[in-house]
């Protein structure tokens, strides 16, 4: 009994690390757009680096909240004039409805279909990549590369959240 419990615990830890700490990613290559999912960590800087500094896509899309009383977006580049500074890279911003990863993915898939995009680079927190990949695969048929950034919250809190959200996506909310 103790051995079975130990094997189960080791398996759970290994699966947690594989899914949420070290998900499958690679070195991104050119794509139709870089898309940043909202959340903690240096996502904005990574999306700008990939799209503008490295020139991997002509458009960088930011999922961000708009703060109406301050007339600003939560993602810094959204407050500029539609072009990212010193480059000819277009900045698109949208507020997901609902404000969830599922809501973001649905709108990104719709945007990709409308604009005829075949490939995306998706920037998310590392712990979110597994779930974002699964959701995007349900909503869109194109090629997606994922780039992770460390989340600003402690990993243990992110793991608890992602396990719950991933299990929900696998069982209750199985559609796009």
Instruction: Tell how far CA 146 is from the center of its chain.
Output: 8
Q: Total domain count for the chain?
A: 1
66-67/72-73 β-pairing: antiparallel
Domain membership flag for residue 118: yes
Return the pLDDT at 82: 54
Domain membership flag for residue 176: no
CA 148/CA 23 separation, integer angstroms: 9
Q: Which residues contact 124 (CB under 8 A, 6 or more apart)?
A: 36, 37, 39, 43, 132, 146, 147, 148, 149
Return the pLDDT at 78: 75
**In which residue are the tokens 């780039």 written?**
147
Instruction: Dump pLDDT digits (tens) for 73-83.
Output: 777 777 665 55
Domain membership flag for residue 126: yes
Domain membership flag for residue 62: yes
Return the pLDDT at 114: 97
Residue 120's domain is classified under what CATH number?
3.40.50
Per the structure, the complete domain to which residue 41 belongs is given by: 2-171
CB neighbours (10 Å) of residue 67? 10
Task: Give the residue ranges of the chain where pLDDT is below 70.
Answer: 71-72, 79-87
Q: What is the pTM of this model?
A: 0.89
Return the pLDDT at 54: 92
Instruction: Dump pLDDT digits (tens) for 53-92.
Output: 899 999 999 998 777 777 667 777 776 655 555 467 788 8
């Amino acid at each position: 009994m103790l051995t079975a419990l130990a094997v189960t615990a080791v398996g759970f830890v290994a699966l947690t690390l594989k899914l949420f700490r070290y998900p499958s990613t690679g070195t991104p290559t050119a794509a139709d757009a870089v898309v940043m999912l909202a959340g903690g960590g240096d996502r904005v800087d990574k999306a700008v680096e990939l799209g503008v500094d490295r020139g991997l896509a002509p458009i960088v899309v930011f999922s961000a909240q708009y703060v109406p009383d301050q007339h600003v977006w939560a993602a810094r580049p959204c407050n500029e004039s539609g072009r990212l500074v010193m480059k000819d890279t277009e900045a698109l911003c949208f507020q997901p409805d609902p404000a969830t990863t599922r809501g973001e993915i649905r709108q990104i898939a719709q945007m990709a279909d409308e604009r005829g995009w075949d490939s995306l680079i998706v920037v998310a927190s590392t712990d979110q990549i597994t779930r974002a990949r699964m959701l995007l695969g349900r909503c869109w048929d194109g090629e997606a590369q994922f780039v992770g950034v460390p989340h600003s919250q402690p990993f243990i809190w992110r793991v608890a959240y992602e396990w719950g959200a991933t299990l929900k996506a696998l069982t209750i909310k199985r559609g796009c």
